[in-house]
Amino acid sequence: IESDNSVQLEHILEELHFADVAEIIDELNLEQAVYIVKLLDSEKTSEALMELDEDQRDRVLNALSPKEIADELEEMDTDDAADILNELPDNIAQEVISELIDEQHAEDIVDLLRYEENSAGGLMAKELVKVNENWTVTGCVSEMRAQAENVTRVHSIYVVDNNDKLKGRLSLKDLLTSPASTPIKDVCKPKVDYVTVKTSGEEVSRIMRKYDLEAIPVVDELDRLVGRVTIDDIVDFITEEAEKDYQLASGISQDVEANDSIWDLTKARLPWLVLGLVGGIGAAAIMGGFEHLIKEYAVLFLFTPLIAAMAGNVGVQSSAIIVQGIANDDLKGSIGNRLLKEILLAMLNGVILAILLFAYTFFAEGEFLTSLAISISLFAVIIVAGLVGTFVPLALHKRGIDPALATGPFITTSNDIFGILIYFLIAKAIIGI
Amino acid sequence: IESDNSVQLEHILEELHFADVAEIIDELNLEQAVYIVKLLDSEKTSEALMELDEDQRDRVLNALSPKEIADELEEMDTDDAADILNELPDNIAQEVISELIDEQHAEDIVDLLRYEENSAGGLMAKELVKVNENWTVTGCVSEMRAQAENVTRVHSIYVVDNNDKLKGRLSLKDLLTSPASTPIKDVCKPKVDYVTVKTSGEEVSRIMRKYDLEAIPVVDELDRLVGRVTIDDIVDFITEEAEKDYQLASGISQDVEANDSIWDLTKARLPWLVLGLVGGIGAAAIMGGFEHLIKEYAVLFLFTPLIAAMAGNVGVQSSAIIVQGIANDDLKGSIGNRLLKEILLAMLNGVILAILLFAYTFFAEGEFLTSLAISISLFAVIIVAGLVGTFVPLALHKRGIDPALATGPFITTSNDIFGILIYFLIAKAIIGI
């Protein structure tokens, strides 16, 4: 297909949905991909570009001139265009902006670049349909028609006053069933959910999910309507956040996938493994401090992997529940109450597990005191691990750090060390060495 | 507020959005919650019920009579009503169904009960706007108006033939700008994305995300249009799936949250901890088999927690990447290629980590052969752990089992045992005992 007939190829691809074109481009090598992007008109390719795998998109964009990139951006929604510019090196982005022909479009895009990526400002698009509360229904309809040309999907019509302040919302139905000379003020629904440009992405997605919204207007510090966030962007946002949390919990720095190069995967995985290695060396050093016991109480050393594993598991469990509670904003009660609840929970789990372990060690080894020491240590380790797992994400969140960082290898590693230290201290006290 | 003035309370609550009413009900005790549900009219409470925390909803429903539940269901969309019925015990559900007054509504709900929860059939609602391809534009508009009454948001108008087979889609704009006598056949867009009732929820959400759809029609085995899935249901679906995967990876059985009772949390957490306990006992038993070495080579035993931790970390990392790749359906290449790539990756990581460990142990302990044995074992353990982490989720997925089960405690526990066994075997061979 690739080698010869460009006219025929163009025909085939023009028929396809842009998301399918994007899938095809993802599979091609760079030269072929750039060839196709240049071949098709920018209306199709601009949408396809947005659907591409990020790495492939970077490569394709690098191969295009600033003028060619600007042509693509002209066809994009402002929010997508701003995302692309954010990915480009600063000097190239500057050149691309100066190549934009549509002044208003360029202004809107530059406007969006000001906002943080993870805020309503960074997620919103400038494209929306708004009408002035002082217009009449007739004036409104013709003005709307012009505005709607730039907007792919009209979710809501927003009503503003002379200062562009958001006043309410208008339903198409009310508009069509009202007499032509009615002022918009009298038709408009004054109650409308909105967010400000600074609202975090998590909060926007929570509000939209709670009220089942498909779009939400965004206002600036002066309550002026500046954009809207649509549900498809929120779906992407939710998916990305979930993947990021999942990867952090699994000890992978964000933004890699199975098909990335071995080098990229190593960069994402190795740092966490080095952390684990350092933790393991720390554990070995602690055990080394008790090495004089090894001849008489060898059995204590046999259970160190068990203690470390249980400390890690409990820590991951309790931190995961806290991280999800924070993400869903449904944690009730104070930190003190949380910790108290976790202590009770850990005590319940700890007692059951300690009894099981005691039963095994006592029957297998037959030494009452050693078995007792091992089981009681396990009980203590589980409580401490649960507390650490609960406290660390809460503390990180209070300091404005992503609590998901505290899950996975971080909590397992620190709990390994803690766990083994507590284990030997308690065992020593009980056996009375 | 609660104790006295029911009229005033009703006024306040009627003004609120149903999602806010739901939040209030979530905070109340059962008696108060039921009181409010009975106080407000079912139009408001039916929507609020859907937004309630699941446990609270179960309790409230238990306190209502079948007739009262039926009243709520009358006001609900068919998909929500079916979800509620699925949560009720069979005999109560049966009674509720027989109390439904609107025959068509009841039929639609019962229809939906047939489908699996995690399929397009289980996610879809019956509410949609459909027109016959043989109608004219005029006939169509009046018919649509009647249908639209039952549909909260009209995303698309679907076109069917005389046998109810899906033929295409109609845009409101085309409908309004076409001459009144045009047959629908000539206005309708024949290309429309659709799914069948059997399509999995994951697949539906992938398609809707790919094409940025806000609703997708669902057809049955005979291509007849039977429902549609809307984006708000998909947002809930994605969120739930992500939470489930996250919890499985953290060793928590699904569907608990931080505010659940200690007993519920124990039920979700204890089984995985018992698994970890059994794994730890297994590891201790293996080490016990090498106990005769403990006097001469005590240092070997000091590093067992490190080996176990690294095996666990590598296993979790590689399984997480595979689980995400499967979820996004973007794994390329065969299982063989995957495993080969993981071997190369693990070798790269393994060499770096083994060199670091050798440097530490050699300088700390000064014994060349022991240090070499420990580092080479680490290298081998990392490769095996990576292979297990890659292979197990792929194998589970091939057998139709949720690969997320293979992450978290399952993979850490099995890798602990494997890792320690490999470690001692290799160490033994190198030291030549």
Are A195 and A218 contacting, i.e. CB atoms less than 8 angstroms apart? yes
**Whole-number pLDDT of residue B148:** 64
**pLDDT for residue B152:** 61
Closest-CA residue in chain B for A192? B17
Span B146-177, pLDDT tens digits: 676 666 666 678 888 888 888 888 876 666 66
The radius of gyration of chain A's CA atoms, rounded to the nearest angstrom, is 30
Q: How close A212 comes to chain B (CA, Å)?
A: 6
* Count of domains for chain B: 3
B208 and B268, same domain (yes or no):
no
Residue-wise pLDDT for A45-85, tens only, equals 888 888 887 778 888 888 888 888 888 888 888 888 888 88
Report residue A365 as tokens: 């080894």
Whether residues A265 and B298 touch (CB distance < 8 A) is answered with no
B315 and A250 in contact (C-beta within 8 Å)? no
Pairwise CB contact (< 8 Å): B214 & A212: no
Same-domain pairing of A280 and A145? no
The model's confidence at residue B375, banded by pLDDT at 50, 70 and 90, is very high
In this prediction, residue A334 carries a pLDDT of 78
Q: Which residue of B has its CA nearest to A351?
A: B270
**Last-in-domain residue among A56, A86, A116:** A116
Task: Note whether B239 contacts A235, CB cutoff 8 Å.
Answer: no
**Residue B239 falls within a domain, yes or no?**
no
CB contact under 8 A, B302 and A279: no
- Burial of A14-53, coded b for 16+ CB within 10 Å and e otherwise, reads eeebbbebbbbbbeeeeeebbbbbeebebebbbbbbbbbb
Instruction: Check whether residue A170 and residue A279 sit in a common domain.
Output: no
Contact B220, B196 (CB under 8 A): yes
Same domain flag for A220 and A304: no
Domain stops at, among A91, A116, A141: A116
Domain boundary among B90, B118, B146: B118
pLDDT bucket at A382, cuts 50 / 70 / 90? very high
Q: How far is B215 from chain A (nearest CA, A)?
A: 11
Q: Rounded to whole angstroms, how far apart are CA atoms B62 and B58?
A: 6
Provide the pLDDT for residue A185. Answer: 82
How far is B147 from chain A, CA to nearest CA, in Å? 15
List the single residue in A265, A310, A320 with the smallest CB-CB distance to B247. A320
Chain A residues whose beta carbon lies within 8 Å of the beta carbon of residue B212: 19, 232
Q: What mean pLDDT do residues B203-232 have?
A: 88
Chain B residue numbers with beta carbons less than 8 Å from the beta carbon of A325 are 257-259
Instruction: Give the 3-state secondary structure percentages of chain A, helix then strand then coil, rounded to 5.
Output: 70, 10, 25
Task: Name the residue range of residue B25's domain.
Answer: 6-118
For all residues of chain B together, what is the average pLDDT?
Answer: 83
Phi, psi of B131 (to 5 degrees): -130, 155
Chain segment A242-288, per-residue pLDDT in tens: 888 888 888 887 677 777 788 888 888 888 888 888 888 888 888 88
Q: Is residue A345 part of a domain?
A: yes
pLDDT in tens, A100-148: 888 888 888 888 888 888 889 889 888 888 888 888 877 777 777 667 6
Task: Give yes or no for a contact between A390 and A319, defined as CB atoms under 8 angstroms apart.
Answer: yes
Shared-domain flag, residues A355 and A230: no
With beta carbons under 8 A apart, name residues in chain B contacting A301: 287, 294, 301-302, 304
The answer to whether residue B240 sits within a structural domain is: no
Residues of A in contact with B328 (CB under 8 A): 257
Most confident range (mean pLDDT) of A203-217, A375-389, B358-372 is A375-389
pLDDT at site A254: 64
d(CA A405, CA A402): 6
Tokens 């208003």 belong to residue: A104
Q: What is the mean pLDDT of residues A373-380?
A: 92
Are A296 and A401 found together in one domain? Answer: yes
Q: By mean pLDDT, which of A105-119, A204-218, B2-16, B382-396 is the weakest?
A: B2-16
Chain B's closest residue to A233, CA to CA, is B212
Average pLDDT of the segment spanning A363-371: 84
Residues of A in contact with B357 (CB under 8 A): 277, 281
Nearest-CA distance from B304 to chain A in Å?
6
Considering only residues A196 and A254, tell me which one the structure prediction assigns the higher pLDDT: A196
| CA–CA dist A242, A320 (Å, integer) | 13
Say which range, A171-180, A297-306, B355-364, B416-425, has the weakest mean pLDDT: A171-180
Say whether both B37 and B106 belong to one domain: yes
Host H or E run for residue B217: strand B215-219
- Residue B1 in domain: no
State the smallest CA–CA distance between residue B245 and chain A in angstroms. 8
Nearest alpha carbon to residue B373 among B387, B384, B357: B357
Q: Do A104 and A46 share a structural domain?
A: yes
Classify residue A362: in a domain, yes or no. Answer: yes
Q: What is the CATH number of the domain that holds A32?
A: 1.25.60.10
One domain for residues B395 and B297: yes
Contact flag A308-B303 (C-beta cutoff 8 Å): no
What is the chain A residue with the closest CA to B287?
A302
Nearest by CB to residue A238, choosing from B235, B322, B420, is B235
Same domain, B360 and B224: no
> pLDDT at position A295, please?
77
Examine the domain organization and report whether B107 and B180 are in the same domain: no
Check A287 against B302: CB less than 8 A apart: yes
Question: pLDDT at position B155, please?
Answer: 67
Q: Give the domain CATH number at B152.
A: 3.10.580.10
Burial of B63 (0-12, 13-18, 19+ CB in 10 A): middle
Domain annotation covers residue A87: yes
pLDDT at B218: 92
CA-nearest residue of chain B to A415? B309
- Beta carbons of A246 and B246 less than 8 Å apart: yes
Query: Smallest CA–CA separation between A93 and chain B, in Å?
Result: 27
Q: Give the pLDDT confidence score for residue A1 in this predicted structure.
A: 54
Report CB contact under 8 Å: B317, A250: yes
Q: Residue B268 pLDDT > 70, yes or no?
A: yes
Phi-psi region of B120 (alpha: psi -120 to 50; beta: other; left: phi over 0): alpha
Using the predicted structure, report yes or no on whether residue B254 has a pLDDT greater than 70.
no
The CA–CA distances, whole Å, from B365 to B299, B309, B362, B368 equal 8, 21, 5, 9
Q: Cβ separation of B257 and A321 shorter than 8 Å?
A: yes
Alpha-carbon span B316 to B322, nearest angstrom: 10
Q: Which residues of A271-286 are buried (b: 16+ CB within 10 A; e: fewer)?
A: ebbebbbebbbbbbeb
Is A112 among the domain residues?
Answer: yes
pLDDT confidence band for A176 (50 / 70 / 90): low
pLDDT for A150 equals 63
Are A187 and A323 found together in one domain?
no
What's the CATH code of the domain at A417?
1.10.357.20
CB contact under 8 Å between B309 and A209, yes or no, is: no
- How close B95 gets to chain A, by Cα (Å)? 30
Query: Who among A243, A270, A295 is closest to B324 (CB)?
Result: A243
CA separation for the pair B361, A59 (Å, rounded): 44
The answer to whether residue A318 sits within a structural domain is yes
Q: What is the pLDDT of residues B315-372, one digit of tens each?
A: 988 888 888 888 877 777 777 888 888 889 899 999 999 999 999 988 887 788 889 9
